[in-house]
Amino acid sequence: MGQLLKNAKMLDGKNNLIQKDVLIENGVIREVYEQISEEGHEIWDLEGLLLVPGFIDLHVHLREPGGEHKETIESGTKAAVKGGYTTIAAMPNTRPVPDNKAMMDALMDRIEKTAHCRVLPYASITERQAGKSMTDFSELLRAGAFAFTDDGVGVQSAGMMLAAMKEANKCNTVIVAHCEDNTLLPKGGAVHEGMFAQKENIPGIPSVSESVHVARDVLLAEAADARYHVCHVSTKETVRVIADAKRAGIKVTAEVTPHHLLLSDSDIPGQDSNFKMNPPLRGTEDKEALLEALKEGVIDFIATDHAPHHEDEKAQGMELAPFGIVGLETSFPLLYTNLVLKGKWTLQGLMDAMTRKPAEAFSLPYGKIEPGLAADLCVIDLNRKEIIDSKGFASKGKNTPFNGWECSGWPVATIVGGKIAYKKEEALIW
Ligand SMILES: NC(=O)N[C@@H](CC(=O)O)C(=O)O
Ligand SMILES: [Zn+2]
Ligand SMILES: [Zn+2]
C-alpha cells in the first residue's frame, strides 16, 4: 500500500501551477501523474494546496552539544519541519566542535536518535575552529561529515585556507566559509558601519571586512581548483566579487539569508538585539543588490543562518548580546509575502532557491518531486494568513526581528521520507 496525495497543485518549473497526484511507496516517490488510481492506497487529499519539494537549509545552528539552553537537535529540527524543511545542515560551532571522529560519531548518533528531519553535520576546517591546525578531512568524511566550515569565525590565515582547499579538492568535498577579516573589525562592532551605527554611536562593522575575505578566497579556490561556498553574503561588493569569480570559471557558490533580503540597517527600530546578527543588516543598496544577485543566479540559494540564543543572553542589549537570529519557522511565509506577493520575484524562483538550487550546489539527491527520489515534501497553504509570534515557535530561540509581521503562505504539512513529520491539523482535511 502506498500513500496517494490527491489534488495537489504543483509548480511545473516555469512558474505555472498544475494539478497532479503523487504516489509514495516505501518513502520514495513512485509516480507523479494527472490522475492516479486510488485502489489499494491510503488517500491524502490536498484539496488544491501547493505541494513542493521539502525545503533545504544548508546553514543552521542546532547548538547541540554544549548549547542546549539555546536549542537542541530535537527542538531545532522540530522548528525545521514546522517551517517546511526536510533537510538541514548543522553548523559545527558547538562545544565541543565536531573536529574528530569520536565527536562526529557522537553527533551522528544524537541526530539518528532525536532529529525530526534529515540533518547533515558539518565538520570544522580547523581544530576547535581556532584556525591553527587542520582537521582530518578524510576521517571526518568517513564518519559522516557533510562538508567543512569554521562558521562563526573566518579562517584568518590565507595559508590555512589554501591548505584546506587543496585537501577539500583531494577529498572531493566543499569548503564553506564565514567570510570575515578580524583585522578590519572595530572593538565592540555590533551593527553595519552605516547610518544606524552613526546615529546610535555604536561601533560599525565595515562591508569590506566581508568582501575582502571573499575576494581572497575565490582566488585561493582558483589556485587550489577547489569547490568553495560563501555563507550569508551581505554586501554589494561581495556580490560583485562572486559574479566576477563565476565569470572566470571558479567553482564558487553562495547563499543569502531571508533577513538580508528583507531588511536593511534603516529598519532597525532602536537598540533591539533581535536586529543584531553577523553579518549585520547592511544598507538598502546592499539589500537590493542581494535580491538582484539571487534572481540572476550570482547568489545560488537561500539559507536561514538560524542562530537561536537564550532570552537572557539577548536581553544584554545591542552591544553585549550575542549575534544571531532564528529563521527556520518564518522563512517561506516572509519571502513569499514580501517578495512574491509584492511582485518582486516569482514563486518558482523563490521555490528553486529553497529546494532545487541548494540540492544541486551540493549534489544532494533531494529538492525535486520526481519518481525515484525520497518523498521529502511540503504542503503549503498560500492563502493562510498568520501574524508571526515567536512565543509559538517550536524553536527554543525566540530571537526574531519579524515579530508582528503578517504573512501568507504557511507550511501546513511536512513529509520526510514518506512519513508525516509535521501537520497543522486545523488547516487540513486529511
Ligand atoms: N550568524 C550569527 O549572527 N551568529 C551565528 C554565527 C555565524 O553564523 O557566523 C551563531 O552561531 O550564533
Ligand atoms: Zn557565519
Ligand atoms: Zn551561521
Report pLDDT digits (tens) over 152-188: 999 999 999 999 999 999 999 999 999 999 999 999 9
pLDDT of residue 389: 98
Q: Is the CB of 151 inside a 6 Å radius of any atom of ligand 1?
A: yes
Atom of ligand 1 nearest to the CA of 323: 3
pLDDT (mean) for 86-115: 98
Ion ligand 2: residues, Cβ under 5 Å: 151, 178
pLDDT of residue 76: 99
Q: Kindly state the cell numbers that stand for 132.
A: 591553527
Dist CA 232 CA 240 (whole Å): 15
Do the Cβ atoms of 261 and 284 come closer than 8 Å?
no
Q: Please tell me the number of Cα atoms within 13 Å of 8 on its side-chain side.
A: 26
Q: Kindly state the cell numbers that stand for 201.
A: 554611536
Could you read off the pLDDT of 21-47 as tens digits, one per residue? 999 999 999 999 999 999 999 999 999
142 pLDDT more than 90: yes
pLDDT of residue 275: 98
Sign of the CA dihedral with 406 first, then 349, 88, and 207 last: negative
What residue ranges define each of the domains in the chain, with the CATH number in brackets? 3-51+374-427 (2.30.40.10), 54-361 (3.20.20.140)
Pairing of strands 227-230, 174-177: parallel
Residue that is written with C-alpha cell 585556507 in the block: 161
Share of the chain above pLDDT 70, in %: 100
Q: Is the CB of 74 inside a 6 Å radius of any atom of ligand 1?
A: no
| Mean pLDDT taken over the chain | 98
Pocket test of ligand 1: the residue of 95, 278, 282, 326 to mutate, having most ligand atoms within 8 Å of its CB, is: 278
Could you read off the pLDDT of 146-162 as tens digits, one per residue? 999 999 999 999 999 99
What's the CA-to-centroid distance between 258 and ligand 3, angstroms?
Answer: 13
Atom of ligand 1 nearest to the CA of 276: 3
- The H or E element containing residue 165 is helix 158-171
Q: Phi, psi (5° rounding) for residue 132?
A: -100, -45
Amino acid letter, residue 360:
E
Dist CA 325 CA 225 (whole Å): 34
DSSP string, 383-422: EEEEE--GGG-SSS----TTTT-EEEEEEEEEEETTEEEE
How many CB atoms neighbour CB 187 within 10 A?
Answer: 5
Cβ-proximal residues to 376 (8 Å cutoff; 6+ apart), any chain: 53, 54, 86, 87, 118, 366, 415, 416, 417
What's the CA-to-centroid distance between 109 and ligand 3, angstroms?
Answer: 22
Could you read off the pLDDT of 357-411 as tens digits, one per residue? 999 999 999 999 999 999 999 999 999 999 999 999 999 999 999 999 999 999 9
Dist CA 109 CA 119 (whole Å): 11
What's the CA-to-centroid distance between 231 and ligand 2, angstroms?
Answer: 6
What band does 58 get if pLDDT is binned at 50, 70 and 90? Answer: very high
Numbered residues of the known binding site: 59, 61-63, 93, 151, 178, 232, 278, 305, 309, 323-324
Sign of the CA dihedral with 95 first, then 97, 102, and 105 last: positive
Range list of β-strands (E), 189-312 = 191-192, 204-205, 227-230, 252-256, 301-302
Q: Is the CB of 305 inside a 6 Å radius of any atom of ligand 1?
A: yes
Q: Label each residue of 95-158 as H, E or C.
A: CCCCCCHHHHHHHHHHHHHHCCCEEEECECCEHHHCCCCECCHHHHHHCCCCCEECCCCCCCCH
What's the CA-to-centroid distance between 276 and ligand 3, angstroms?
Answer: 13
Classified as helix, coil or strand, 336 is helix
pLDDT of residue 190: 97
ipTM value greater than 0.95: yes
Pocket test of ligand 1: the residue of 57, 61, 274 to mutate, having most ligand atoms within 8 Å of its CB, is: 61
Dist CA 410 CA 428 (whole Å): 12
- The H or E element containing residue 28 is strand 28-33
Do the Cβ atoms of 261 and 345 come closer than 8 Å?
no
Ion ligand 3: residues, Cβ under 5 Å: 151, 305
Nearest CA to ligand 1 atom 9: 152
pLDDT of residue 34: 93
Q: Kindly state the cell numbers that stand for 349.
A: 524562483
What band does 429 get if pLDDT is binned at 50, 70 and 90? Answer: confident
What's the CA-to-centroid distance between 149 and ligand 3, angstroms?
Answer: 10
Could you read off the pLDDT of 201-246 as tens digits, one per residue? 999 999 999 999 999 999 999 999 999 999 999 999 999 999 999 9
